[in-house]
Amino acid sequence: MNHSIRWVSAVAGLMFFALLANITGSYLFRGPELTNSPLNQRVLQEQFGWPRGPLMAGNTPIVESVAVDSYLWANKRVYNNGPMYAPITGYYSLNFGRSRLEQVYNAELTSTSDSQLMARVMDALAGRSTQGAIVQTTINPAAQAAAWEAMQGRKGAVVAVDYTTGALLAYVSTPSYDPADLASSDLDHVVDAWDAYNDDPARPMADRAGREIYPPGSTFKLVTTAAALEAGWRPDTLVDSPKELPLPNSEHVLENFGQVGCGGERITMLDAMKVSCNTAYANIGMALGADALRNQAEKFGFNEGFMSDIGSATSNFPSEMDAAQTAMSAIGQFEVAATPLQMTMVAAAIANRGVLMEPYLVSELRNPDLSVLSIHAKNPIRQALSQQSAGILASMMIENVNSGGGDDAAMDGLTVGGKTGTAQWDTDEHPYYWFVGFVEESHVAIGVFIEETKSGDPQWSGGAAGPVFKAVAEALR
């Protein structure tokens, strides 16, 4: 009997050994995965009270963590000018997760990224609490504020970019929301705010600058012109510009905006741009063909999207088109749809001698002691059009502002080039108004998109969007 009792003891010992081995194995092998699980509310809740690093615009923190005297969470996230910066910063919410830069740089902001391992170890050894990294954005607070002010009461977006580097200087979407509402520790308030924002028909949480695509209208004529120049056309090349253009194999008859003529049955391409002649550009598009247009559009970033960190919507240039559809696409209609960011980058590449720079929002990450953790080097995506074509197109745009349809954006002492756009997307609705252009002296490209004007605004693209362009250009002068 004692013999078997000893065996039973061995079995019992083995069971306890299995329990101990299993929890040790769990700790070693399952632990990291469990801790990083997005379902792990413990970690989310714990981190919610951690001090996160600030997001900076210039020398001003636009988001920062502030210590509060609270039992649950020792820090709260403060959004300075929250609505103005919301499409950049995103929100940091206990209930609804994170978005935009708050999400993309979460590991760095909480100092849990691999590159911060040494800092964490040193802090632990020194008994300091670890501070998150500082995220330096490229945003110019003055330009951002100017764009925000100019867009008040209007739905739309403004993007400004330094075309020599791709650094985004302004990135505004209106109407907006206040991330502070979602980052609150008053969870009832957070849920109410979330519901209210999502139920609002004005869609304040939409990022109209980079995450929505709209028909670009006549601003797309810049792409068509670029394709024509690359194909050997010149500004003085004559184009048929009838008052009415029946489209092939279609019952649709294309007219010019306001059913007016373009100043002759046959005009130069430069004049066609200055009066934004639809029939002329439809003829250019049909002459070049769908493939040439698509090729040029894709060189500017269509069908591809921008920004590896916060990401953008992909602007669309359709495939498989007949002649009528190609004609409509050449004037930015049919299924052509672009983000305001995309159209700004078209102007930027033209102004930057044809080189399309990758737009970016974060210039560097710094440790709390201000040493640099990582830095964003400027990154040319490609030569979107030849330097020569770019130079010609830029001067055509300048001409357009000086003595053409873009004159609403003319500014004293500055060399401004630009192109207006009016996209009639529904005959019963107001059209979308666009203006994209550049300022040579401050080497910035600015895109303005107005989805809905304020009552009393001029109802043409230059009148609606031009003043916004000028306000931002003034702030960047």
Partner 1 sequence: MTRASTATSTPTRRGVELALVLFGFGIATGGYLLYYLNNNAPIPTNWWFPFAAWLGMSLAAHIVVRRAAPYADPVLLPCVLLLNGLGLAMLNRLDSGIGSAAAVQLRWTALAIVVACVALVALRDYRVLERYTYSLFLLGAALLVLPLLPVIGQDKNGSQIWIEIFGYSFQPAEIAKIVLTFAFASYLSDHRERLKTAGTKVLGITWPRLADTLPIGVMWLSALAILVFQNDLGTSLLFFGLFVMMLYVATDSPAWPIIGGLAFAAAAVLVYTQTTRVQIRVESWLNPFADVDQNYQIIEGQFGMAWGGLFGRGWGMGRPGRIPIVNSDFISAAFGEELGLIGLMAIIILYAIIVMRSLRAALMAREWFGKLLASGLGFVFALQVFAIIGGVTRLLPLTGLTTPFISQGGSSLLANWVIIAILLRLSHQARAPIELDNAVEVVNLEDEETVALEVVAAAPASPRPAVPTAPTAAPQEAALEAPAATPRGANA
Q: Which residues bind partner 1 (CB under 8 A)?
A: 1-9, 11-13, 15-16, 18-20, 22-24, 26-27, 30-31, 34-35, 37, 39-43, 45-46, 71
Residue closer to partner 1 (CB basis): 125 or 370: 125
Around Cβ 92, how many Cβ atoms within 10 Å?
27
**Closest distance to partner 1 from the beta carbon of 42 (Å):** 5
Distance between CA atoms of residues 86 and 179, nearest Å: 6
**Closest distance to partner 1 from the beta carbon of 26 (Å):** 6
**Closest distance to partner 1 from the beta carbon of 71 (Å):** 8
**Closest distance to partner 1 from the beta carbon of 6 (Å):** 7
Strand partners, 286: none
In the block, residue with structure tokens 């502070």: 180
**Closest distance to partner 1 from the beta carbon of 100 (Å):** 27
| 110 in Cβ contact with 50 (< 8 Å) | yes
Q: Exposed/middle/buried for 223, CB within 10 Å: 0-12, 13-18, 19+? A: buried
Residue closer to partner 1 (CB basis): 5 or 377: 5
The two tokens of residue 217 are 């209208």
**Closest distance to partner 1 from the beta carbon of 94 (Å):** 13
Catalytic pick among 65, 93, 218, 241: 218
In the block, residue with structure tokens 């078997």: 4
**Closest distance to partner 1 from the beta carbon of 35 (Å):** 5
**Radius of gyration of the chain from its Cα atoms, rounded to whole angstroms:** 28
Residue closer to partner 1 (CB basis): 23 or 372: 23
Residue closer to partner 1 (CB basis): 18 or 122: 18
The verdict on whether 386 is a catalytic residue reads: no
Residue closer to partner 1 (CB basis): 19 or 122: 19
CA distances from 382 to 120, 355, 375, 436, 462 (A): 39, 6, 21, 20, 30
Q: Which of 240, 272, 287, 279 is nearest to 256 (CA)?
A: 279
Pairing of strands 134-137, 55-57: parallel
Q: Which of 142, 221, 144 is nearest to 434 (CA)?
A: 221
Q: Which of 54, 60, 66, 53 is nearest to 144 (CA)?
A: 60
**Closest distance to partner 1 from the beta carbon of 128 (Å):** 20
Residue closer to partner 1 (CB basis): 24 or 319: 24
- The angle that helices 278-288 and 290-299 make with each other, rounded to 10 degrees, is 100
Residue closer to partner 1 (CB basis): 30 or 189: 30
Pairing of strands 253-255, 244-246: antiparallel
Pairing of strands 372-375, 155-162: unpaired
In the block, residue with structure tokens 């209930």: 95
* DSSP codes, 17-51: HHHHHHHHHIIIIIHHHHHH-TT-HHHHHHHHTSP
- The angle that helices 221-230 and 340-351 make with each other, rounded to 10 degrees, is 40
Residue closer to partner 1 (CB basis): 4 or 59: 4
**Closest distance to partner 1 from the beta carbon of 47 (Å):** 11
- The angle that helices 387-403 and 221-230 make with each other, rounded to 10 degrees, is 140
Residue closer to partner 1 (CB basis): 30 or 243: 30
Distance between CA atoms of residues 21 and 27, nearest Å: 10
Residues catalogued as catalytic:
218
